[in-house]
């Protein structure tokens, strides 16, 4: 038996103002999108903003449904919209902000597993890393240089 260690590097910014300018501006769009989420069941709003290499910014937020599994997360709403509207553009940056309607969310909220899998597809398709910044409503912002740092040992087309 051999032990295998997998390493990921993440970066932590003390607050929104500490972000590089492009990421700061994109996070503002994610925050705006978060405020427009449709989340009457969980009362948990998430907004995502994507910067493409054609300078377009695409945003999305979670869209819930009375039939709970029919709803969709913010990240996938945004990433699928980007893929459908700009199929040849590359995703450079993604910013995510999440917050509960009941209390202020002060720590970075990473994308769920299903969203990581969906974002991974685009990273592989475009053969270039996607930088992902995520936060709560206020406080520290976490960054990964690539989706693969958030989803090691991912499932991809190479095995099909
Ligand atoms: N949610 C997202 O939008 N993104 C995630 O990565 C995690 C969860 C949404 C789904 C649901 O509407 C609410 O947050 C609570 O799970």
> How far apart, in whole angstroms, are the C-alpha atoms of residue 120 and residue 148?
7
Q: Tell me, what's the pLDDT at 73?
A: 98
- Angle at CA 4, nearest 5°, toward 3 and 8? 145
46 lines ligand 1 (CB under 6 A): yes
Q: What residue's CA is closest to ligand 1, atom 7?
A: 112
> How far apart, in whole angstroms, are the C-alpha atoms of residue 129 and residue 28?
22
Q: What residue's CA is closest to ligand 1, atom 9?
A: 73
Q: How far from 91 is each of 122, 143, 159, CA to CA, in Å?
A: 8, 15, 24
What is the model's pTM? 0.97
Do 142 and 11 meet the contact criterion of CB atoms below 8 Å apart? yes
Active site residue 75: yes
Do 27 and 141 meet the contact criterion of CB atoms below 8 Å apart? yes
SS (H, E, C) 22-53: HHHHHHHHHHHHHHCCECCCCCEEEEEEEEEC
Which of 33, 44, 114 maximizes ligand 1 atoms within 8 Å of its Cβ, making it the mutation to test the pocket?
44
Give the residue ranges of the chain where pLDDT is below 50: none
Strand partners, 82: none
Q: Which residues contact 57 (CB under 8 A, 6 or more apart)?
A: 26, 29, 49, 50, 51
Q: Tell me, what's the pLDDT at 154?
A: 93
Of 110, 145, 106, 138, give the one whose Cα is nearest residue 16: 138
């Amino acid at each position: 038996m051999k032990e295998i260690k997998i390493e990921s590097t993440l970066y932590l910014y003390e607050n929104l103002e500490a972000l590089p300018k492009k990421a700061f501006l994109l996070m503002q769009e994610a925050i705006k999108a978060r405020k427009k989420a449709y989340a009457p069941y969980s009362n948990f709003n998430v907004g995502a903003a994507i910067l493409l290499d054609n300078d377009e910014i695409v945003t999305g937020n979670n869209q819930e449904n009375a039939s709970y599994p029919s709803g969709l997360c913010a990240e996938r709403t945004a990433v699928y919209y980007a893929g459908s509207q700009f199929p040849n553009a590359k995703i450079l940056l993604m910013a995510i902000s999440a917050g509960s309607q009941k209390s202020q969310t002060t720590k970075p909220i990473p994308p769920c597993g299903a969203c990581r899998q969906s974002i991974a597809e685009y990273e592989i398709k475009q053969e270039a890393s996607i930088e992902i910044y995520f936060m709560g409503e206020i406080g520290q912002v976490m960054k990964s240089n690539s989706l693969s740092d958030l989803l090691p040992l991912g499932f991809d087309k190479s095995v099909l």
